[in-house]
Amino acid sequence: MELIKALPEIFEDFAEQRKNSFLTMKELKDKNVPVIGAYCTYFPQEIAMAMGAVTVGLCSTSDETIPVAERDLPRNLCPMVKASYGFAVSDKCPFFYFSDVVVGETTCDGKKKMYELMGEFKNVYVMELPNSQSETALKLWKEEILKFKSYLEQTFKVVITEENVRKAVHMMNENRIALKNLYEVMKNDPAPMNGQELFNVLYGSQFRFDKEKVPEEINALREKIMKEYEENEKMPKKKRILLTGCPSSGAPMKVVKALEENGAIVVAYENCGGTKSVDRLIDESAEDIYEAIAERYLQIGCSVMTPNKNRYELIGRLIEEYQIDGVVEMTLQACHTYNVEAKSIEKFVKGKGVPYIHVETDYSQEDIGQLNTRMTAFVEML
């Protein structure tokens, strides 16, 4: 029995969370709650939360406004950058509209230059993210976090206390623990739900603004899923896929759909919005909480890092723990860091004796037929 039949209202609720949160955002603004929007997993949201602000992700996942963006941006640019800029400049993203400050970061070149253009019509603050994970880089990143704290205090005329920072750290650690416990149900074989359902919860949870309630909701969902799994007939076993690479929310989920409609199941996501976002916790007992925050975020294994050893460590661990049959790397067109790193990831994965395939796509639906053909062939080969 597929859990999508047993728990449709829960999965649908999380899948629609981003849309449902538009009204919540308006209500928060009516109460003068500060809103900080951001585009990256490296954003240290605990600092903003410590001053009572709500944080929200702004990356756009549809090609709807790309034609608008291409009036200012080159066509051969990452679709995520173009879509995000398009929704911002056309005022079609309520989250962007209601954000008092948009926080950017110096990850990829496309986003860095996008922030310059955004700064002409929005209050944009850019954090200088080091592109390595050395001790020197950690010092620089801690300084950037402290500068960001000072900027918020000056902009909003508030004092961000260490006590409130530690409370925010604890709250977000609890969120990460709950989400990690949830996706670890996919270690079961057969899996208790499909990968699309899992991602809906992981992605949708980002748009639950009352972070204190999220762990309880996620834990209750996990218990319900496992109760259904233990009491009902199991789904048939399928080839177990690890999806890695660029963010897969929105239009890129067509890759997951192509896999799961052709005999496989995505049991793990090593990308933004997946395990990468919740795998590491902040050391709550650290004497220097700001250094602990900096260390946790800097250790995220993104392809903008050189070298990027933490990404390989995480992929290797997921392959083993989730009994992965095949790795699919999904990259977006013109995402240079991930596309270049794909060759090294292929070598690493195949070195562990696991089949690997790399697919490059964009936000359009034009390559769905080709994706289905390639994913069917890959799954049949496993």
DSSP annotation of 167 reads H
- 199's enclosing H/E stretch is helix 195-204
Q: State which residues of the chain have pLDDT below 70.
A: 1-17
pLDDT in tens, 273-308: 889 999 999 999 999 999 999 999 999 999 999 999
Exposed/middle/buried for residue 185 (C-beta within 10 Å: 0-12, 13-18, 19+):
middle
pLDDT at 248: 87
Domain limits at 45? 8-162
- Residue 107, domain member (yes or no): yes
Angle at CA of residue 276, ends 272 and 281, nearest 5°: 130
Burial of 351 (0-12, 13-18, 19+ CB in 10 A): exposed
In a domain, 51, yes or no: yes
- Write down the pLDDT at residue 2: 44
Task: Based on DSSP, count helices (H) and strands (E) in the chain, helices before strands.
Answer: 18, 8
What is the Cα–Cα distance from 314 to 362, expressed in whole angstroms? 25
**Total structural domains within the chain:** 1
Q: What is the pTM of this model?
A: 0.94
Report how far residue 376's alpha carbon sits from residue 382's, in angstroms, rounded to the nearest whole number. Answer: 10
Neighbours of 227 (CB within 10 A): 12
CA distance 257 to 189: 20
Q: Are 326 and 357 in contact (CB under 8 A)?
A: yes
Q: Is residue 136 part of a domain?
A: yes
Neighbours of 112 (CB within 10 A): 16
256 in any annotated domain: no
**Residue 221: other Cβ atoms inside 10 A:** 20
Q: What is the per-residue pLDDT for 23?
A: 82
Give 239-266 as a DSSP string: EEEEEEES--SSGGGHHHHHHHTTTEEE
Model pLDDT, residue 14: 55
274 falls within a domain? no
Specify if 108 maps to a domain: yes
Phi/psi region, residue 138 (left: phi>0; alpha: psi -120 to 50; beta: rest), is alpha
Tell whether 1 is covered by a domain.
no
Instruction: Tell me if 300 is assigned to some domain.
Output: no
Q: Which two tokens stand for residue 79?
A: 């679709």
CATH number (domain holding residue 60): 3.40.50.11890
